[in-house]
Amino acid sequence: MNRILIIGSPGSGKSTLAQQLGRTWLLPVIHLDTYFWKPNWVMTEDEEWDRIIAQLTMQEQWIIDGNYSRTMDKRIERADLVILLDLPRWLCMYRIFKRRVMFHKKTRPDMNEGCQEKIDWAFVKFVWSYPRRSRMKTLSRMEYAAAQGKQVMILQTRKQVKELLHDQIQYRLHT
């Protein structure tokens, strides 16, 4: 397994899982937020973003975490394994508030410098509405990925995430 894509709601644990799998599999981890957000939360233009995605996905090995639905299919095409963190809304909400407190006046390790952790009403609404707005589209993309012969995992509980990590560590120790 050389290329792993991790998607899901903000606050679902994509970046944390990417880091943990990266350590286990010794694969480079790419946090899309680092590339998309320029200092002071300025978005990357579509044309530049498409070039960045093309460059990142052409690498032979990676773990990429992040949604960015407009370019998700390009990442799915190159991935060997696609993991959807389909965790409960309440947990994602809790985590976005928790990281806001943890990284007060700081930049998270998975963000670009100059993007201090913040939370505003628009982001809270975005996370809250993720299941209604994006979940079904994401699930259909998972079906598409499976039909393309990709390995697909949909994790819906923290226990399933822990079991995945445990299983991957055990597998790695025995190979």
- What is the DSSP code string of 88-153? -HHHHHHHHHHHHHHTBTS--TTS-TT--B---HHHHHHHHHHHHHTHHHHHHHHHHHHHTT-EEE
How long, in residues, is the chain?
A: 175
CA dist., res. 18 & res. 143, Å (int): 22
Give the per-residue pLDDT at 168: 82
User: Which residue type sits at 1?
Assistant: M
pTM higher than 0.85: yes
Q: Which one, of 26, 34, 23, lies nearest residue 66 by Cα?
A: 34
Q: Which long-range contacts (CB under 8 A, 24 or more apart) does 105-109 make?
A: 108/15, 109/15
Residues of the chain falling short of pLDDT 50? none
Q: Could you tell me the CATH superfamily of domain 3-174? A: P-loop containing nucleotide triphosphate hydrolases (3.40.50.300)
Give the per-residue pLDDT at 142: 95
Q: Which one, of 83, 48, 77, lies nearest residue 63 by Cα?
A: 83
**Bridge partner list, 7:** 84
Q: State how far Cα 99 lies from the chain centre.
A: 16
Domain extents in the chain: 3-174
